[in-house]
Structure 1
Amino acid sequence: MPKIVEATVAEHRAARRAALLDAAVTLLHERPEEIPGLAAVGKRAGLSRSSVYHYFSSREDLLAQVVEHTFPRWEQRFQAAYAAEPTSAGRVRAFVRENIGLVSDGEHALARTLAAIAPAEHMGRHSADFHQRLVEPLTEALAEIGSTDAELTAQLVNALVHSGARQVESGADAHAVMAGILEILDPYLAARGDTASSI
């Protein structure tokens, strides 16, 4: 039996499962055109294929759990960025920075890969919920600074972000793209009393 380094068997299993999920994500980043096999995931995590079957029944089960693992991780990233901003305008900027950051970090490519290969019922539900939870703080921040139609303005900001994401995916510098989006947004934010620098 493998040595248990965590305090309990449950913690040991949780750590192994997390290591396997991280290994699967790494393989998806490296070769997005391939669905990683359980043996490859186990090898990357330092476990045998038979050990992997204690956590995932199939590649499809693994991918479904990668989806379950990935979206909360992304959401925590956004929540931390929002929490670090003391102003509503700062949270608008954080929305831009973190979205473009996901693309430059390769996480957006992971999302596209998962959309193509993960079980549709898992990906679709989590993707829709994730995007809704991301846009809600943006809409609230825009309402707080006096947007006359916060939902519409949030959609327009999101459109800028999507356009910027496509530019980064095509090879544009992520920092330059963020600066360009915020150059458009800053006069709007300044007109509502914000005086912070854009980045």
Structure 2
Amino acid sequence: MPSISAPTVKEHHRIMFGKLIDAAEEILRERGPEDLTAGAVAKVAGIARNSIYRYVSSVDDLRILVLERYLPQWQDAVDDAINRDSTPQEQILALAVVSLELARSTGHSWLISVMKSARSARPASEHDIPEQRAEYHSDLVANFHIEFARRVTLLWTMVDPKTASLHSRINRALLDVGMKSLDAGEPFESVKASVLASISGLFTVVDEA
């Protein structure tokens, strides 16, 4: 039996599992998905290459596990941003702010690249929003993004049903631009102000229609 560095086999497994996910995240952040190999993960984690497969069945599993480790944080932040007593417009702006804050704290471009590299060919559901039909190996990750898009669309429907589809797509596009701007080094407060002003401009369009 291999030597273990913890009081129990179960604890050793937990520690090593965490080291592998940490190693995978380091590689994905600093080098990109194309460099996530068993050899690279083993080197960063400080274990033998073949030992990886005692904890995961493939390197792709690590790609998904890195994404999933952020889901509780993302979900809690999004849920906390919604104040049921506020107007739909206020909730839309609150979701925009929390999205940008998450992008600043966890990074955006590297996570998007991981998501794209982890897509599967599983057929989309007829209930999915069209732009969100690209599925991932992880249902948890896919469902989070689909639900976020639905939430934005629902809020815009409350603002103006006739333009909800268009404005929700523009809303998400503005968030994407804002996140990429943060990745490029633009100051957070400047990006946030521009994104919020642009979304608020959509409210003005609705009011003037």
In the other structure, the counterpart of 1:93 is 93
How many angstroms apart in 1 are the aligned matches of 2:77 and 2:119?
30
Letter of the structure 1 residue corresponding to residue 5 of structure 2: K
The SS at the match of 2:193 is helix
When normalised by structure 1's length, the TM-score is: 0.70
Residue 24 and residue 143 in structure 1: after superposition, are their counterparts in 2 closer, same or farther (change >3 A)?
same
Work out whether residues 23 and 45 of structure 2, in 8 Å CA contact, stay in contact via their aligned partners in 1.
yes
For structure 1, the 5+ residue unaligned runs are 193-199
In the TM superposition, 1:12-161 aligns within 5 A as 12-32=12-32, 34-57=34-57, 61-67=58-64, 69-85=65-81, 86=83, 87=86, 88-104=88-104, 105-113=106-114, 115-116=116-117, 118=118, 120-121=120-121, 124-126=134-136, 129-144=143-158, 146-149=159-162, 150-161=164-175
Q: Identify which range, 156-165 or 47-56, moves more after superposition.
A: 47-56
**Count of aligned positions:** 183
Work out whether residues 78 and 95 of structure 1, in 8 Å CA contact, stay in contact via their aligned partners in 2.
no
Deviations 1:107-146 (CA, angstroms, capped at 9, x unpaired): 3223225525x46548x522754431221222233344x3
Paired-residue identity, %? 22
Q: Identify which range, 158-167 or 89-98, moves more after superposition.
A: 89-98
For structure 2, the 5+ residue unaligned runs are 123-133
CA positional deviation for 1:62? 1.2
Letter of the structure 2 residue corresponding to residue 80 of structure 1: D
CA positional deviation for 1:99? 3.4
In the other structure, the counterpart of 2:188 is 174
The SS at the match of 1:159 is helix
The SS at the match of 1:168 is helix
How many angstroms apart in 2 are the aligned matches of 1:35 and 1:121?
22
When normalised by structure 2's length, the TM-score is: 0.67
CA positional deviation for 1:53? 2.3
CA positional deviation for 1:100? 3.0
In the other structure, the counterpart of 2:131 is none
